[in-house]
C-alpha cells in the first residue's frame, strides 16, 4: 500500500490534512518584494495581506516547480522503501508536471524498485480537495491502491464545480479568457460561470447578467445537482466573505442537510481568479459539461 500525498493546490484546509495524516507538496507564488512564498493550506497564510496587495494593484505570479523540488520531496519516501500515490491538481492547468516526469525518471534510476502513481484529479482548489479527502478517508478503512484508484475514477466524474470571478481581467492575464471577451464582458456586466472541462482545464458553462444573478445561479446548481450529502459542500470566496456567506445561506435554505464548509481561496489559485471570486463545489451524479469554451 502506497503513501497518499497531494499538493497544496487542492486547498484542503490544513486541519483536515493533519487529521488525515496527509503530506503535501507546497506550491509557490510571489506577490510582493519578489519573495517566493509557498502555500501551506492556510496554516500560517496571511490571506488579508495577499488580497489587499492584489486589490492595491499588485499582480501576483505563480510558477512551476523544478525537477529538483520534486526529487527532494519524493526521495525520502523511496529511501524508506515506500511507494507513493500522488493525487495531483489538474495537469491541464500547469507545466509543472513536465518537471515531475523528469524527476520521476531520474528517481527511478536511483530507486528502481519504487514507484510513484500519479492520479490527475482534473480539478483545482477544493475540486481536487474533495477527491483527496474522500480517498484519504477510504484509505483509513484499509483500501488498497487499486481500490482507491477505482473509487477515484468514478468519484472524479461526479464532481460539481461552478465559480464566478468578479474581475474578468484576472482570467485574461492568466490566459483563461481572451482579451476581447474580457473587455466585452466587463462593459456589458456579464459574469461567466465557469467549470472544469473533460481535460481539467477551465471552460465557460453559462453567463449571468450581473453579480446577484451569478450568485443565484451558483446556488441553484448546488441545490439541484447535489446528490451526495454525505460529502462536504464547499462554498469558497476570494476576499468577499459576506457574499460567500449569502451564497451558503441560499444553499442551506433549500438543502438544510448539506454539510457546508466555508473557506477562503488560497493565494496560488487566487493569483489567477482574483479577489471577489465565488465558487461552489459538491458531489452529484455527473460532472457538468461546459456549454462553451472561451
256: buried, middle or exposed (CB in 10 Å: 19+, 13-18, 0-12)? exposed
| Residue 190, pLDDT above cutoff 90 | no
The CATH 3.40.50.10440 portion of the chain extends over 3-27+65-156
Q: What is the mean pLDDT of the chain?
A: 92
- Work out whether strand 233-237 and strand 278-283 pair parallel, antiparallel, or are unpaired: antiparallel
In tens, the pLDDT along 192-248 reads: 899 999 999 988 898 898 899 999 999 999 999 999 999 999 999 999 999 999 999
Cβ atoms < 10 Å from Cβ of 101 = 12
Higher pLDDT, 35 or 38: 38
* 242: CB partners within 8 A, 6+ apart: none
| Residue 175, pLDDT above cutoff 70 | no
Is 159-283 assigned to CATH 3.40.50.300?
Answer: no
Q: How confident is the model at residue 97 (pLDDT cuts 50, 70, 90)?
A: very high
The CATH 3.30.1180.10 portion of the chain extends over 159-283
CATH number among 3.40.50.10440, 3.40.50.300, 3.50.30.10, 3.60.110.10, domain 3-27+65-156:
3.40.50.10440
What is the share, in percent, of the chain residues with pLDDT greater than 70?
A: 91
Phi/psi at 114 (nearest 5 deg)? Answer: -100, 155
Mean predicted confidence (pLDDT) in 45-51: 97
State how far the Cα of 259 lies from the Cα of 27, in Å rounded to an integer.
28
C-beta of residue 35 within 8 angstroms of C-beta of residue 16: no
| Residue 187, pLDDT above cutoff 60 | no
What three-state secondary structure class fits 21? Answer: coil
| Residue 171, pLDDT above cutoff 80 | no
Higher pLDDT, 104 or 272: 104
In tens, the pLDDT along 123-135 reads: 999 999 999 999 9
Q: How confident is the model at residue 170 (pLDDT cuts 50, 70, 90)?
A: low
* 45: CB partners within 8 A, 6+ apart: 39, 266, 267
Mean predicted confidence (pLDDT) in 92-120: 97
In tens, the pLDDT along 66-91 reads: 999 999 999 999 999 999 999 999 99
Q: How confident is the model at residue 174 (pLDDT cuts 50, 70, 90)?
A: low
Which neighbouring-strand residues pair with 5?
A: 23, 86
What three-state secondary structure class fits 278? Answer: strand
State how far the Cα of 191 lies from the Cα of 6, in Å rounded to an integer.
31
**pLDDT for 173:** 58
Amino acid at each position: 500500500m502506497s503513501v497518499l500525498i497531494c499538493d497544496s493546490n487542492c486547498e484542503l484546509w490544513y486541519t483536515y490534512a493533519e487529521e488525515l495524516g496527509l503530506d503535501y507538496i507546497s506550491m509557490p507564488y510571489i506577490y510582493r518584494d519578489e519573495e517566493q512564498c509557498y502555500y501551506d493550506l492556510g496554516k500560517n497564510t496571511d490571506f488579508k495581506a495577499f488580497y489587499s496587495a492584489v486589490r492595491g494593484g499588485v499582480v501576483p505570479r505563480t510558477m512551476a516547480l523544478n525537477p529538483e523540488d520534486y526529487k527532494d520531496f519524493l526521495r525520502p519516501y523511496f529511501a524508506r522503501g515506500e511507494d507513493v500515490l500522488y493525487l495531483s491538481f489538474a495537469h491541464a492547468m500547469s507545466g509543472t508536471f513536465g518537471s515531475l516526469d523528469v524527476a520521476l525518471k531520474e528517481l527511478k534510476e536511483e530507486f528502481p524498485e519504487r514507484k510513484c502513481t500519479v492520479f490527475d484529479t482534473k480539478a483545482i482548489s477544493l475540486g481536487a480537495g474533495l477527491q483527496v479527502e474522500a480517498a484519504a478517508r477510504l484509505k483509513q478503512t484499509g483500501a488498497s491502491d487499486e481500490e482507491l484508484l477505482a473509487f477515484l475514477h468514478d468519484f472524479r466524474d461526479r464532481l460539481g464545480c461552478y465559480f464566478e470571478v468578479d474581475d474578468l481581467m484576472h482570467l485574461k492575464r492568466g490566459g483563461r479568457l481572451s482579451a476581447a471577451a474580457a473587455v466585452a464582458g466587463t462593459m456589458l456586466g456579464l459574469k461567466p460561470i465557469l467549470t472544469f472541462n473533460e481535460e481539467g482545464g477551465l471552460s465557460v458553462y453559462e453567463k449571468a447578467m450581473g453579480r446577484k444573478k451569478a450568485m443565484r445561479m451558483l446556488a441553484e446548481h448546488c441545490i439541484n445537482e447535489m446528490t451526495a450529502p454525505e460529502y462536504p459542500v464547499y462554498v469558497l470566496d476570494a476576499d468577499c466573505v459576506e457574499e460567500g456567506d449569502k451564497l451558503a445561506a441560499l444553499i442551506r435554505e433549500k438543502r438544510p442537510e448539506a454539510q457546508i464548509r466555508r473557506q477562503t481561496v488560497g493565494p496560488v489559485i487566487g493569483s489567477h481568479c482574483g479577489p471577489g471570486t465565488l465558487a461552489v463545489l459538491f458531489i452529484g451524479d455527473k460532472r457538468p459539461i461546459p456549454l462553451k469554451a472561451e
